[in-house]
A and B are shown apart, each in its own frame.
Chain A
């Protein structure tokens, strides 16, 4: 059961946004994300890349949700789809959806409301985080372009993995 959906336009081209999405964590806007794992990744016949990732977080839930849940396990499943903006190739559209379950059971509508506003505010932080990562990548590109003229690698390619 979807409890929250959102659409957002980034003022950056798709290649930049998706590169940033792959390297979104860690970032200062989402300090409660302490771990990221890839559970599945594949390219489908239509050449879409799917990434299924598990985010490990610390706290961050409203206390009423914690006290009501039978266990300390709440699942928030999110789908994010990044597409080039159909009218402007320098922009990217992000569509986001979230489903929340408490140990296999969907939330009551009251709790849905609570969670939806938490997810919504986290999504705003997530967008700020993306802008932060994009800024970092672009700064790296400028640095590399200035210092490594004549390199056969594209700056984005070099910037994408030089961070680690």
Chain B
């Protein structure tokens, strides 16, 4: 998929492939240790965050992302 920043599309794609592989081969099998995509993600983020700032896209202030304030529930 294209990125919001044109320069970031290739990195977006590369990171996506890495994530999909990790998701299927590790996460879905209960293995949440280690993330082989960290470096890719960092480089991709530098590009995307810059594009978001330049385009003045408001991404702050989401009420949803409770980040653990929610009572933990049982889920896979």
A residues at B contact (CB < 8 Å) = 14-15, 18-19, 22-23, 25-26, 34-39, 41, 43-50, 52, 54, 56, 73, 75, 77, 79, 83-84, 97, 99, 101, 103-104, 153-154, 156-157, 159-161, 164
11 of the cross-chain contacts (CB-CB < 8 Å) are A19-B20, A26-B1, A38-B48, A46-B73, A47-B32, A50-B65, A54-B52, A77-B62, A160-B20, A161-B24, A164-B17
For the A-B complex with A22-B20, A34-B2, A36-B12 known, give 20 more contacts whose Cβ atoms are closer than 8 Å: A18-B23, A35-B1, A35-B2, A37-B12, A38-B15, A38-B44, A38-B48, A43-B27, A50-B65, A50-B67, A52-B62, A54-B57, A56-B4, A75-B58, A77-B62, A101-B58, A157-B21, A160-B23, A160-B24, A161-B17
Within 8 A of A (CB), among B40-76: 41, 44-45, 48, 52, 56-59, 61-65, 67-68, 72-73, 75-76
**Shortest distance from the beta carbon of B8 to any chain A beta carbon, whole Å:** 7
B residues at A contact (CB < 8 Å) = 1-5, 8, 12-13, 15-17, 19-21, 23-25, 27-28, 32, 41, 44-45, 48, 52, 56-59, 61-65, 67-68, 72-73, 75-76
Other-chain residue from B8, B23, B75 in contact with A22 (beta carbon distance below 8 A):
B23
